[in-house]
Amino acid sequence: MQLLVRALTGVLAAGVLAGASTPGVESAGASRRGTNMQAQERIDWKPCPQDPSAECGTLRLPVDWARPSAEQFDLAVARRKAAEPGRRVGVLLVNPGGPGESGVNFAVGRATSYISADIQERFDIIGFDPRGVGGSSPVKCSTKLLAQRPSPYPRNQAEFDQLAEYNRTLREDCRRHSGPVFDHADTLSVVRDMDAIRRTLGEKKINYFGHSYGTLMGEQYAEQYGDRIRPMALTANIDHSLGTREFLVSSAATAEDSFRQFVQWCDRTSSCALHGRDVTAVWDNLLARADRGEIRDPKSPDQILTAHAIALAAFAEFYGPDRDELATHLAALDAQTPREPQEPQQPQARTSQGTGPETTAEPFHAVFCQDWRFRPKNYPEFARLTEAELRAAPHMRGTPRVHAAVAGCVGLPNDVNNPQHRLRITDAPKILMLHSLHDPANNYAWATNVHRQTRGTTVLVPYEGAGHSVYGRSDCTRDAVDDYLTELKIPSAGSRCAPAAED
């Protein structure tokens, strides 16, 4: 699993019991104001190669904020200036999620179609690649080694030990190819980088919009630098207080909920390619056939599709949600003529005939395993977690992507840079939170948990429909964000947005 989020419609799930102590957070907050930034004081803006109407540049920053005069790296930044300078409000930092999504690519390539014209007219849109991502000293790993990744579903202690050993080997490989940023790719370090951007741009306060994993950046910025925020809007929220079991189970439950939503949609929608059939039975039978090696990839008929690959593809379609496309795909798989069963093949290496690159950008686990203390100790513990996950999502067979996220941390050191803790925001303006009731990746309970932890600071507006991306779902969701960013008009407590017609 490389990413949990695609652009602002990306993917991620997380959550569970507080496994971290708050003193670590207190010490970061106590030291932040007294640390001088040893970095360049300006960004040399130039037209972006992809689109000259946007500006690109870099900001030289410390790798380790505890040692600001030591190693440094270049943080990639992009800017789209306010289209109407006379109405300009300020800068709007945007992060589209991940971990692993490029904020530069968003600002340059997608912001003009995603963000409303009013916001583009009144704000300088600022995108940045978080450290370890894209143009910001990206984490890279051996392509050959990545292709050897073992199954995230070990069947015994020996396979669990093999997974742990592989993770440790991969970690050292990635450190060797990536340099010192690898050990400081956590979100708390990114938060320090965000404030450096604010300072370099000469802004007393920032406006911020974060989606999915970008909400964790926003939440932790509000903890550390709450007085430097004008407004902040967060969609598809992350709860960073959760532990391993709750993280997996809640992620599985929300994936299963999206499957049920798909089934109900197909039952009532005549255009669904499976309309009139028992969709759940079709699905379960399809996965059973895939287990027997009977389903082939329509795009590569010589390749056998695993049940996990089918579930993962469905999970991705829930993000939109793109239900018509999913139904058509499943109907085509179900209609395949039975062939001689074959053993499902292992995933092929990402290179062909040795002509590909030696390394591949792979930032996900470098970030994720430094932000979450998820370290199942042995096979019995991991098996119990997997069983709980499968009980929560019997048709989706757990959580297709998040399980692999946790498996990727097995065997790694227990100490992490940014361990979980309850969110504590003491000095920030109102923060607007939006979250879909039927988000396939980030359980709605995560948003309510965060809201309870910060009730005096946050306002939660539920979107009563489906999908991972919230901002553009309806006039209600878009206006709630736009009105707050521009006029500081916060929705009243109890406000809700009805589902869009397509839901």
- Mean pLDDT of the residues in the chain: 90
Name the CATH architecture for the domain at 7-135+187-243+422-487.
3-Layer(aba) Sandwich (3.40)
- Give the pLDDT band (50/70/90) at residue 400: confident
Kindly report, residue by residue over 307-338, the tens digit of the pLDDT. 999 999 999 999 999 999 999 999 999 999 87
Q: Could you give the CA distance from residue 34 to residue 199 in angstroms, rounded to a whole number?
A: 14
Contact 101, 215 (CB under 8 A): no
Interval 131-151 mean pLDDT: 97
Q: Could you give the CA distance from residue 375 to residue 378 in angstroms, rounded to a whole number?
A: 9
Domain boundaries defined on the chain: 7-135+187-243+422-487
Q: What is the pLDDT of residue 344?
A: 53
Q: What is the pLDDT of residue 455?
A: 86
Q: Could you give the CA distance from residue 352 to residue 369 in angstroms, rounded to a whole number?
A: 30
Residue 2, φ and ψ in degrees, nearest 5: -95, -40
Q: Beta-carbon neighbour count of residue 98 at 10 Å?
A: 32
pTM of whole model > 0.75?
yes
- Give the pLDDT band (50/70/90) at residue 503: confident
- For helices 279-291 and 307-318, what crossing angle results, to 10°? 140
pLDDT above 90 for 25: no
Q: Could you give the CA distance from residue 208 to residue 215 in angstroms, rounded to a whole number?
A: 10
Question: How does DSSP assign 315-336, residue by residue?
Answer: HHHHTTT-HHHHHHHHHHHHTS
